[in-house]
Amino acid sequence: MQYERELRQSQAFLTEHDDFLVVAHVQPDGDAVSSTLAVGWLLSCLGKKYVMVNEGPIPKRMGYLWQADQIRDLSAEPLNRKFDNVICVDCADFKRVGMTKELFAEGAKLLNIDHHPTNDGYGTVNLIVPYAAATAEILFDLIQFMGLELNEAIATALYTGLLTDTGGFRYSNTSPKVMATASKLLEYGVEGPGLSELLLEQMTLPQLRLLTRALNGLQLTEDGKISWVVVTDEDLKFAGAVHEDMEGIVNYPRNIQGVEVGLLFKVIDEQAVKVSMRSAGKVDVAKVAQSFGGGGHVRAAGARVEGTLEAIVPRVVEQVRLQL
Ligand code: AMP
Ligand code: MN
Ligand code: MN
């Protein structure tokens, strides 16, 4: 079986090397942070040296995670060294590691652990499971495969990844295996409802202000099948919000009855826009995202597109329309 072979190769990668760099994608979500920490824990169980790094800060909301404060923020503090052994988690392609690639030594060996169907297998060793709901689900399997005993702290991290990438066990990626895994994690004492409250229910006031402002500008195509909202730097300033407060806004246009694709355009600067795409099921948004140099899943995908908002919005909407 391919999965077993990839698990075996990943185990060998971890046991045969030492002094690792562990990275996840830029603007990390619950799965990216949790998977980084789970790999860190795994390495500590093996007695290995490792450093966890992200291009930017991790969301404040995730500060409860075991060793969350050990993930170094490269934008705040440079790290003047390079690593020969790198583990990338939840990164659909190499670009997604962002600035942390500066820390990769030339010819560095890479272990690529991910669940995006668009992953192009950029690792020296690849552990890619496109049907997994989250990278955390794959790490659960790897930990079991290696015969390590979980504890509550790391079970909480894995549960966090599952919870956030399935939207609270609601999206179509919520397979029987996801529920079985979540059930096992709860046995370790994970506080499921508390995590749902913290990560999915609670909003900060700036987050709510930002949402209200964004929804004011909601657009809909004439046939009612594509809907989008835009968030600019001025919107963030107005609301007193930060980047992570944009999480979840894209669901609102998508949730309108009759809408097939919901989009969120986040203006990064004058030259680039981040597009988040969500599909009701008919349109493969990973395909649309890929045509703009991004990637993701059938129902949730994203891309960073170079250009101004005025130029990008009609281009993306048109590309979605062609898929309808
Ligand atoms: P987001 O819209 O940022 O919540 O991302 C939705 C899904 O698309 C996630 O699974 C992301 O990992 C993936 N994704 C987002 N942006 C990109 C990108 N620039 N390249 C590849 N995959 C992406
Ligand atoms: Mn992610
Ligand atoms: Mn993920």
In the reported structure, the alpha carbon of residue 222 is separated from the centroid of ligand 3 by a whole-number distance in angstroms of 33
Question: Which ligand lies nearest the alpha carbon of 59?
Answer: 2
Residue 269's pLDDT band, with cuts at 50, 70 and 90, is: confident
Q: Which atom of ligand 1 is nearest to the CA of 250?
A: 2
Distance (angstroms) between ligand 2 centre and the Cα of 278 equals 14
Q: Measuring from each residue's beta carbon to the nearest atom of ligand 1, which residues come in under 6 Å?
A: 92-93, 96, 116, 276, 294-297, 300-304
**pLDDT over 90 (residue 265):** yes
Q: How confident is the model at residue 270 (pLDDT cuts 50, 70, 90)?
A: confident
227 close to 256: Cβ distance less than 8 angstroms: yes
pLDDT at 219: 98
Question: Considering the chain, what is the average pLDDT of its residues?
Answer: 97
Q: What is the pLDDT of residue 1?
A: 86
Tell how far the Cα of 302 is from the centroid of ligand 1, in angstroms: 4
> Which ligand neighbours the alpha carbon of 119 most closely?
1
Q: Which atom of ligand 1 approaches the CA of 90 most closely?
A: 12
Longest dimension (CA), the chain: 60
pLDDT tens for 148-185 read 999 999 999 999 999 999 999 999 999 999 999 999 99
pLDDT at 240 over 90: yes
Residues 6+ apart with CB under 8 A from 76: 57
Per-residue pLDDT reduced to its tens digit, 51-96:
999 999 999 999 999 999 999 999 999 999 999 999 999 999 999 9
Distance from C-alpha of 277 to C-alpha of 296, rounded to nearest angstrom: 9
Instruction: Please compute the mean of the pLDDT values over residues 187-197 and round it to a whole number.
Output: 98
Q: Is 310 in a helix, a strand, or coil?
A: helix
Quick check: helix, strand or coil at residue 197?
A: helix
Token digits of residue 125: 């060793």
Give percent of the chain with pLDDT exceeding 70.
100
Higher pLDDT, 109 or 244: 109
Going along the chain from its start, the domains and CATH numbers come out as 1-201 (3.90.1640.10), 205-322 (3.10.310.30)
In this prediction, residues 134-138 reach a mean pLDDT of 98
8 Å CB contact between 316 and 288 = yes
Q: How far is CA 131 from CA 7, 24, 33, 173, 297, in A?
A: 15, 19, 20, 8, 10
Nearest atom, ligand 1, residue 247 CA: 4
User: In 3D, which of 216, 231, 32, 218 has the Cα closest to residue 114?
Assistant: 32
CA distances from 277 to 130, 226, 262, 280 (A): 18, 10, 6, 10
**Which atom of ligand 1 lies at the shortest distance from residue 303's CA?**
19
9-68 tens-digit pLDDT: 999 999 999 999 999 999 999 999 999 999 999 999 999 999 999 999 999 999 999 999
Query: Which run of H or of E encompasses 107?
Result: strand 104-114
Instruction: Note the pLDDT of residue 80.
Output: 93
